Amino acid sequence: MADYVADSVGGIGPAEVPEVELYHAHTWLTKYVFSQDAKVIAVQYSLTATAIGLVALVLSWLMRLQLAFPGTFSLIQSENYYQFITMHGMIMVIYLLTALFLGGFGNYLIPLMVGARDMAFPYVNMLSYWVYLLAVLILVAGFFAPGGPTGAGWTLYPPQSILTGTPGHEWGIILMLASLILFIIGFTMGGLNYVVTVLQCRTRGMTLMRLPLTVWGILTATVMALLAFPALFVGAVMMLLDRLLGTSFFMPSIVQLGEQMTYNGGSPILFQHLFWFFGHPEVYIVALPAFGIVSDLISTHARKNIFGYRMMVWAIVAIGALSFIVWAHHMYISGMDPYFGFFFATTTLIIAIPTALKVYNWVLTLWRGDIHLNVPMLFALGFIVTFVNGGLTGLFLGNVVVDVPLSATLFVVAHFHMVMGVAPIFVVFGGIYHWYPKITGRMLDDTMGKIHFWVTFLGAYAIFFPMHYLGLLGVPRRYYELGDTAFIPPSAASLNVFITVAALIVGAVQLVFLFNLGWSLTRGKPSGPNPWRATTLEWQTPQTPPGHGNWGKELPVVYRWAYDYSVPGAAEDFIPQNQPAAASRG
């Protein structure tokens, strides 16, 4: 048996450093608003991300209405449509998913799962949230600025993003870039905290190879984000200079609408490289925490150790490293030297191997398990289906020559929504149903949870699976209306109506989820400290919800890995990580 599974009695040394006294809040304001407690910051991040996410949801409704019933809504003009898609994309990728996985789940789970009292730098952690909130407010300000928010597409490709042919070129683009710059500053403060906390604040006995995969996923994603976001940061600063001071980082000499502009010598492709050097790792910054969390959900609710833990850890690290050398697969038809295609197609398809191994290991964890179909497990299964679907269509788009006809069509839109929209959001939902009892002390309502799952799962699949075929047909993305186009048959319009109806229903059922979150806060069934009978440390806290400092007087000591489920001969079908070896025998 490998040494990480269970420690023999003893072997845990004394603490290497004495404990540092935490900051103790005394007023309501420092406890709940300007709080330095990672658990409160996590809830603040999550609520803010959810609120801005609702804006993105409504925007998606509006654009779907336009696509299904073009010309019906006088309030959705071409410029509005492009503003909606831009804001929807940016909000979902950055301000919702990145913030929720790292700022929300990361803040709540890292200190509890590694057995720490709080983050390494609680004050900086607090600042991280407030800078994030400011970034969100500046982003939202775009809706109220003259000319509205930017409609440059979430990729913000110059030159169009700062020129008059694009909506929001007056104020919207400036606010967008300023907001991104602030977001990255805020994230960096949080991100340094997550990394240092995982590496330096683990409790006694918590070796790296005993960390739950949730922590591995969040840690790797954070390291990646710290390396990738600077590329977006400099890109945003340079574009801001081009827009405000007339520099030419990304602007060659051009004639726009009959007028010679003063820009000269810049490179639009340079921005694309900077954007995708951030943008591709960003996919995994969202996916890796989801991979980690879903591993723990599957293991806990199948009452079985995660299959191939070491392989899972190395796969996370390998995916994280490889994802830095695949970015130009977003640029096969960008006009860069086409010989790059050989390299980037190869690296992109290689990344499929560790990713596929993770999928096999999730499914093999189910094999000979004791599967409890609780709501978190349902969402985890929904994740497997949608992630496999979206991952496999990535093999089309990564394989350079197949990408050529499919790029810039709805196939791409369907692919990335399936793989980095639907799939990670299922993990977010699964994670919330799973950890809500720890955060509040009450269970979320099961019936409402099941309604939420079934409509969301089947509905989201009905939205995005058929959409691939519109892309295959050749329907381009970012089209306000298809107009008269010979190769698009009228049946495509009926499919668009079907997709829109599905999208309206899926969006509406999220209200059930939000209602459940509020309703269960006071009326949910009391959960007790460990309702799922899970092994990881966050379920072993002396109080539920955990108090300030998490652990009472004594920090927990870890004696085993995070996956001792259904150990033969044990009294129960789970053994908590902080239970010594001798005590577990039945």
Query: Of residues 55-84, which lie at the interface with another protein (CB under 8 A)?
Result: 78-79, 82
The residues in 361-400 that bind another protein, with binding defined as CB under 8 A, are: 361, 363-364, 366-373, 378, 381, 384-385, 388-389, 392-393, 395-396, 399-400
* CA-based max dimension of the chain: 84
Residue 112: what are its φ and ψ, rounded to 5°? -70, -40
Least separation in angstroms between CB 561 and another protein: 8
| Binders in 557-586 for another protein, by CB under 8 A | 563, 565-568, 573
495 contributes a contact to another protein by CB under 8 A: yes
- Cis check for the bond before 545: say yes or no (omega within 30 of 0): yes
Decide whether 200 or 485 has the Cβ nearer to another protein: 485
Chain positions 79 to 108 lying near another protein, rule: CB under 8 A, are 79, 82
> Which member of 95, 129, 216, 461 binds another protein (CB under 8 A)?
461
Establish if 505 lies at the interface with another protein (CB under 8 A).
no
Subset of residues 39 to 58 that bind another protein, contact rule: CB under 8 A: none
For residue 180, the Cα-to-chain-centroid distance in whole angstroms is: 16
Using an 8 Å Cβ cutoff, are 267 and 299 in contact?
A: no
- The β-bridge partners of 256 are 259
Distance, CA of 502 to chain centre: 23
| DSSP H helical ranges for 418-445 | 423-440
CB of 247 to another protein, least distance (A): 15
SS3 526: strand
Tell which one of 133, 334, 441, 545 touches another protein (CB under 8 A): 334
Any bridge partners for residue 6, and if so which?
560
- Does residue 550 interact with another protein by CB under 8 A? no
Decide: is 349 part of the binding site for another protein (CB under 8 A): yes
Structure tokens at 318: 């390998």
In the complex, least distance from residue 279 CB atom to another protein, rounded to whole angstroms: 15
- The residue (of 23 and 157) whose beta carbon lies closer to another protein is 157
Residues that contact another protein, how many (by CB under 8 A): 118
How far apart CA 443 and CA 417 sit, in angstroms, is 30
Which one of residues 23, 34, 130, 157 is an interface residue with another protein (CB under 8 A)?
Answer: 157
Residues 189-248 that bind another protein (CB under 8 A): none
- The span from the CA of 396 to the CA of 398, in Å, is 6
User: CB of residue 328 vs another protein: minimum separation in angstroms?
Assistant: 13
Neighbours of 71 (CB within 10 A): 8
Near another protein in 10-39, by CB under 8 A: none
Q: Which of 11, 18, 26, 487 binds another protein (CB under 8 A)?
A: 487
Residue 498 interacting with another protein (CB under 8 A) = no
Q: Which listed residue (402, 501, 504, 509) binds another protein by CB under 8 A?
A: 402
Both structure tokens of 96:
């919702």
Strands (E) in 445-484, as ranges, are: none
203 half-sphere exposure, CB direction, 13 A CA radius? 23
Please tell me whether residue 481 binds another protein under the rule CB under 8 A. yes
Q: With CB under 8 A as the contact rule, which of the stretches 60-68, 216-224, 479-487, 536-544 interacts with another protein?
A: 479-487
CB 53 → another protein: shortest distance, Å?
A: 24
Q: Please list, residue by residue across 433-468, b when 16 or more beta carbons sit within 10 angstroms of its beta carbon and e when fewer do.
A: bbbbbbbbbbbbbeebbeebbebbbebbbbbbebbb
Interaction between residue 307 and another protein (CB under 8 A): yes
Q: How far is the CB of 186 from another protein (least distance, A)?
A: 29
Token pair of 314 as six digits: 């190395």
Which residue from 225, 222, 534, 283 is spatially nearest to 423, judged by alpha carbons? 283
Q: Does 317 bind another protein (CB under 8 A)?
A: no
Go through 147-179 and write b for each residue having 16 or more CB atoms within 10 A of its CB, e for each that does not.
Answer: bbbbbbbbbbbbbbbbbeebbbbebbbbbbbbb
User: Quick one: 30 or 346, whose CB is closer to another protein?
Assistant: 346
The verdict on 341 binding another protein (CB under 8 A) reads: yes
Q: Looking at 50, 60, 107, 166, which residue binds another protein (CB under 8 A)?
A: 166
Closest CA to 145 of 175, 122, 120, 121: 175
Q: Which of 74, 75, 255, 553 binds another protein (CB under 8 A)?
A: 255
| Paired strand residues for 570 | 585
Site for another protein in 114-153 (CB under 8 A): 151-153
Which range, of 49-57, 196-204, 227-235, 486-494, touches another protein by CB under 8 A?
486-494
Task: Give dist(CA 334, CA 398) in Å, integer.
Answer: 14
Nearer to another protein, 101 or 559 (CB): 559
Interface with another protein in residues 274-303 (CB under 8 A) = 302-303
